[in-house]
Structure 1
Amino acid sequence: MITPPNPLRVLILGAGSGIAQATARLYAAEGATVGLAGRNVERLAVIGADLKARGAAATESFDVDFTAPDAAATLAGMVAKLGGLDHVILAYGVLGDQALADRDETAAMAIIDVNFRSAAAWMLAVANLLERQRKGSLVVLGSVAGDRGRRSNYVYGAAKAGLAVLAQGISHRFRGVGPRAVIVKPGPTDTAMTAGMAKGGPMWATPEAVAAVVRKAADSGGPVVYAPGRWWLIMAIIRNIPASIFNKMNF
């Protein structure tokens, strides 16, 4: 891949999330120019000021409703403000309420709309841009939940599974062209999204640990990366549990 200019131009979609902020700090320490896209511009301004204090060359905030019709069409304007684009981190999403989704198809479709339909539109828009410029990286935050459907979060997991296949397809499309596309699959991570869950123990990761994987994935590695890496083995085991046994498990 062609070495990008210094400083890097990075766009983070869903910049208010815990993993996104931890990733942005890594880029700031490198002196990158960071674009922060989200729905709370006041919060983005606070994050941007923190990034500048940490070494970012510049920051730009973009007020975006990612699920709005044709929202991804605003990508070109963001790129123009950043002066170009090297890396895109797609980090937004909602866990949703699976119990509600079981009873209410509208609630289920809302989870899918945020986590797959809208994210897919942004991924394809970014893919077209990177393919035209023949360089750059798209890193998408997926989830280990997408590796096998479980009763506790299968609608969310289905959306993340779709993102994984799309990211892998884009990576295959980029073969021999120059850019790269990666799906990063974190295990349970201590963020606002998991605020209502019991936490602690070796299965949980910090946003900083996942961010380190995300940052590395933008530069090297395969199209599918687990964060932390031990989840590759854990999910390989879970995927291969026979259905007759798996369906008796309560998790």
Structure 2
Amino acid sequence: MSETWIVLGASSAMGRALARSLAERGAGLILAGRDEDDLAATAADCRARGAADAEIARLDIGDPAGFDDIRAMAGPGRVNCAVFVGDMPAQDEIDADPALIDRVMRVNLTGPAQFLTGLLPQLSEHGGTVVGVSSVAGDRGRQGNYVYGAAKAGFTTYLSGLRSRLEGTGAHVVTVKPGFVDTAMTWGLPGMFLVAPPERVARDILRAADRKRDVIYTPGFWRAIMLIIRSIPERVFKRLSI
């Protein structure tokens, strides 16, 4: 019997890459996102790659009104969910318009947490895998993206609590912390280095899910980079333009 995966943010580069990899395993897919034309094209591609099925659903992560309908599409049994939704306005835009903070928190933290919390009864009873894509930006507040980093730090903490909440149920939660990835959200940003293709991230995610890892950095060298960054004393770190 094939697995069923809900992919939130399936019209993102990383979400699309994971959906394709899951399709090659014969998984059933529910692809949710904002761009329905892109979702339809990805669904057709996934069916051609061997997906048991590939349905699409329009998702506005900022509006929980449609969450129940998407969750219901998975049916009553075991379910897996991967969360790729995210929004990262430039920090200077947020500084000029603090109202943007609400949107950043809603898209990166509140909305995903509400969706996953709604899956708790099903996960607790039938098991499954949750993949939550956070970010290395959540490991420490940087002046270049501290609001986005705060939202991702909150999501990381939520995923940690959810993992503990589901311990012993047969369900498992993987927290994914990507570094710089070649996506529409990061395209053209200054200071990018060691940029990974989305397909690399998808491979790392599937390996982590298969091995029931708790937290991964992808690519793996970001674990060492972030260890160094977290080790810098605050009195020094606050003077760095990073």
Relative to the length of structure 1, the TM-score reads 0.91
1:146 maps to which of 138, 150, 153? 138
Secondary structure at the residue paired with 1:105?
coil
The number of residue pairs the alignment matches comes to 242
Task: Name the amino acid aligned to 2:144.
Answer: S
The root-mean-square deviation of aligned C-alpha atoms, in Å, is 1.6
State the identity %.
38
Residue 16 of structure 2 corresponds to 21
Instruction: Point out where structure 1 has 5 or more consecutive residues left out of the alignment.
Output: 1-5
Matched, 1:176 2:168: yes
1:52 maps to which of 12, 28, 47? 47
Matched, 1:247 2:238: yes
Residue 119 of structure 1 corresponds to 112
1:106 maps to which of 80, 99, 102? 99
Deviation, structure 1 residue 73: 2.6
Structure 1 contact 13–37 (Cα < 8 Å) conserved? yes
Q: Hey, what's the Cα distance between the residues in 2 that align with 1:96 and 1:222?
A: 30
Residue 3 of structure 1 corresponds to none
Deviation, structure 1 residue 142: 0.5
Instruction: Point out where structure 2 has 5 or more consecutive residues left out of the alignment.
Output: none
Structure 2 contact 109–155 (Cα < 8 Å) conserved? yes
Residue 90 of structure 1 corresponds to 83
Secondary structure at the residue paired with 1:218?
helix
| Cα distance change, pair 199–17 in 1 and its aligned pair in 2 (3 A) | farther
Deviations 1:128-164 (A, max 9, x none): 320122x100001100000000010111111110110
| Cα distance change, pair 76–23 in 1 and its aligned pair in 2 (3 A) | closer
| Cα distance change, pair 87–199 in 1 and its aligned pair in 2 (3 A) | farther
Task: Name the amino acid aligned to 1:124.
Answer: T
Deviations 1:35-84 (A, max 9, x none): 1011222221111011111111211111121211433333442223xx74
Q: Hey, what's the Cα distance between the residues in 1 that align with 2:172 and 2:203?
A: 18
1:141-220 matches, cutoff 5 A = 141-198=133-190, 201=193, 203-220=194-211
